[in-house]
Structure 1
Amino acid sequence: MSTPRWRVVLIEDDTEMRRFFEGCVTAHPELELAASFGMLAPARAWLDEHPADVLLTDLALPDGHGLALLQHVVRTQPACEVLVVSVFGDEDTVIACVEAGAVGYIQKDSTPADVGRIILGVKHGESPISPMIARKLLARLRQHGGRTQPQPVEPSLPALELTPRESDVLELIARGYSYAEIARLQDISKHTVQSHIKNLYSKLAVHSRGEAVFEASRMGLLDRTRRSP
């Protein structure tokens, strides 16, 4: 009797990087590439109709941030382990994803052998998290009295009001744009971008880009900005 293979779903908008991860999965005898996408919307539609064992997702995607899909999959497919694709220096975003339900992350400069081993490892109870990120998570655990999961927003709370420009900047932050790129796209100075981001951090009660994206996604602000004309 053959050993069943774990079904992996991949979301990565960079074509070359997506092919790299596809090759890593298909080359491993215990993994099966169930589906591969470059955008969030078709991935979510597929996952709503099909079970998966592992979701490997990039975060800054053309049609939104992977954190929203991560939260959706954690709710609808609790048996599916979620790994995020990260780059060095993006620790705050990784922490926000772990708090939302991800079991760990894979860096984009990983070797093919490491990718297969990490994916398989999570199905055997491992959590690929660096000591630095683990230490930050422990610090947050102490700060929140033993809770790493943020509390859900109560329906009775008033909606957070953002200016149209703040909403635009928030959307671009979620898509992974740099301050300089946001300034160019919005035709404003980098200093103005920083002022808008400072206001966003204050309104969201956060201190980093990753925390801002997490809180905005949790509160439905990113969905609201995408629905706005």
Structure 2
Amino acid sequence: MDDTVDSPLSVAIVEDDDDTRARLAQSVAAHAGLRLVGQYSQGCEAIAGLAESTPDVLLVDLQLPDISGLDVIRQVSARHPTCEVLVISVFGDEEHVLAALEAGARGYLLKGTLTRDIALDIHELRNGGSPLSPIIARQVLKRLCPEPAPRAHDADDALTPRETEILRLIARGFSYAETAALLNISGGTVHTHLKRIYRKLAVHSKTEAIFEADQRKLL
């Protein structure tokens, strides 16, 4: 029988707020699978301490009193590649999030969304995951999968004056027969124009045509 027991993951914390650092330390210390090996309130202090003992996981805030947390992440990623960094910050804007991930962070949690035990996120990180607060995950996906740009409308899509006139009357509530009478054309001609309008606007109904034309400022 194999009696081997996995060693606890070593964790260090870089956080200048005393209360937040204490809560994180308490959460780590309370978990049998984790071992707290360092607590730092300043970035330079953390970098020096990590040179002596490198943890498996580093929890780091971005706003530190001496240097930026981004500088800490960059130096840790370069000097201690086996140490995985999890950001815990109040900053949820795209600039900070992307900068942290580009610097080498493997996860990003907002302080206001820490509703579960941080130990779960630490283990997720070490198991190959990337813990992200929901709003952060949406920002990352939005950046990676931007919305397609609106399709440009070429000259062939432009409505003729007659087509515009017909669509305006239809939009005002006139029937096809009434539109034909007002323009002194046949009902068949109205239908022919409407088919062309549908094709140009890439729609399939009168309601869609009116909406699309309004969006394009054609009415």
TM-based fold match above 0.5: yes
- What does 1:174-193 align with in structure 2 at a 5 Å threshold? none
Partner of 2:19: 16
Equivalent residue for 2:30, pick from 27, 47, 70 = 27
Partner of 2:132: 129
Q: 1:94 to 1:67 in 2, by over 3 A?
A: same
- What does 1:81-160 align with in structure 2 at a 5 Å threshold? 81-87=84-90, 89-111=92-114, 113-130=116-133, 132-138=135-141, 140-141=143-144
TM-score scaled by structure 2?
0.59
Partner of 1:40: 43
The two structures, once aligned, show a CA RMSD in angstroms of: 2.2
Structure whose alpha-carbon radius of gyration is higher = 2
Distance in 1 (alpha carbons) for counterparts of 2:28 and 2:16: 17
Instruction: Give, in angstroms, the shift of residue 118 of structure 1.
Output: 0.3
Partner of 1:53: 56
Determine what percentage of the aligned residue pairs are the same residue. 42
Extract unaligned runs of 5+ from structure 2: 147-219
CA deviations on 1:70-100 (whole Å, 9 max, x unpaired) are 0011111111110111226444312210121
Alignment coverage as a number of residue pairs:
143
Extract unaligned runs of 5+ from structure 1: 144-229
CA deviations on 1:186-212 (whole Å, 9 max, x unpaired) are xxxxxxxxxxxxxxxxxxxxxxxxxxx
Instruction: Give, in angstroms, the shift of residue 105 of structure 1.
Output: 1.6
Instruction: Say which SS state the counterpart of residue 109 (structure 1) adopts.
Output: helix
TM-score scaled by structure 1?
0.57
Q: 1:130 to 1:113 in 2, by over 3 A?
A: closer
* Equivalent pair of 2:92/2:110 in contact (CA under 8 Å): no
- What does 1:156-175 align with in structure 2 at a 5 Å threshold? none
Point out which structure has higher relative CO (alpha carbons under 8 A, 6+ apart).
1
* Equivalent pair of 1:59/1:65 in contact (CA under 8 Å): yes
